[in-house]
Structure 1
Amino acid sequence: MKTKSKQQKRNLELLTDLAQQVAHMLVELATVRQDVAAMIGEEVAERMALHWGGQNLYFPMGKALKLSRRDRQIYAEFNGENHSELARKFGLSLQWVYAIVKAVRQEEIERRQSKLFDAGDDV
């Protein structure tokens, strides 16, 4: 009888955890029934194994995504006069809130300008 290597066990644990995490999020956020969520979680894990199987992957912590969401929320709540309120609410320095508002504003301007130039390409 062939025994599984430590790496094979870790791989199986990773795919099992992925399936469980997907199922948990579906139940929690999309109110999907547990049995259906488990089936979808397993499908996602299988698809990722087929898609990324054999690759050596580094899975980032997602800090940039969280910061991006937070920064966009700060910008959405910004009314031109509430820097201090936002700093308190998000636990940031006043200077950091100013920097976030400036950076997101610049990103929005660049995004809008690129749409203008893209629209002209059709001519």
Structure 2
Amino acid sequence: MSTSLLLTTAPAELLPLEHVLDAEYPSALREIATCLYLHLRTQPVVSDDTQAAHIALALTEGLRREIGGGQIYVPKGDEYELTARDREILDRFNGHNHEQLAREYDVTTRHIYRLLQRRIREEVKRRQAALPL
């Protein structure tokens, strides 16, 4: 979640969520619920803030039950957040059309190679299991 959304939200906007959270609710879970709530409020399938608050709490509780007690790392997702154009370039790449794609998308062939290197790194990371330490 963007930190700026957490920082720019007025406390009054969080009241529907505060009404469904217990005063003793753990701060880490409260932060997760707040992030979920703020994003749910922007979704067209959520009819109002009270519904968003209840859904956020239900999702947070599901996470607590499933992964509670363990340590999880939530990556920023920089590698995941390719632009739509870059994903399209990668989808169209056939192994021999570096220069054609560079011309069509008005980028350098070096950019095409960097995209391919990123995809290869991600694929290797996905396929290879981490070594136990």
Give the equivalent residue in structure 2 for 1:115. none
Give the equivalent residue in structure 1 for 2:26. 12
Q: Relative to total residues, which structure has the larger helix share, 1 or 2?
A: 1
Cα 1:29–1:86 change in 2 (3 A) is farther
**Residue 37 of structure 1: which of 49, 52, 56 is its match?**
52
Report the secondary structure of 2:42's partner residue: helix
Contact 2:46/2:52 (8 A) holds in 1: yes
Q: What is the percent sequence identity of the aligned residues?
A: 24
Contact 1:86/1:97 (8 A) holds in 2: no
Which letter does structure 2 place at the counterpart of 1:38? A
Which letter does structure 2 place at the counterpart of 1:65? Y
Contact 2:89/2:101 (8 A) holds in 1: no
Give the equivalent residue in structure 2 for 1:97. 112
Cα 1:55–1:97 change in 2 (3 A) is same
Whether 1:83 aligns to 2:102 is yes
User: How well do the aligned residues superpose, as a CA RMSD in angstroms?
Assistant: 3.7
Query: Matched residues in 2 for 1:19 and 1:52: separation?
Result: 15
Gaps of 5+ in 2: 1-24, 94-98, 120-133
Give the equivalent residue in structure 2 for 1:63. 78
- The normalised TM-score by structure 1 is 0.53
Query: Matched residues in 1 for 2:89 and 2:51: separation?
Result: 36
Query: Matched residues in 1 for 2:33 and 2:106: separation?
Result: 38
Contact 2:33/2:60 (8 A) holds in 1: yes
Query: Matched residues in 2 for 1:49 and 1:70: separation?
Result: 37
Cα 1:102–1:59 change in 2 (3 A) is closer
Cα 1:103–1:17 change in 2 (3 A) is closer
Number of matched pairs: 92
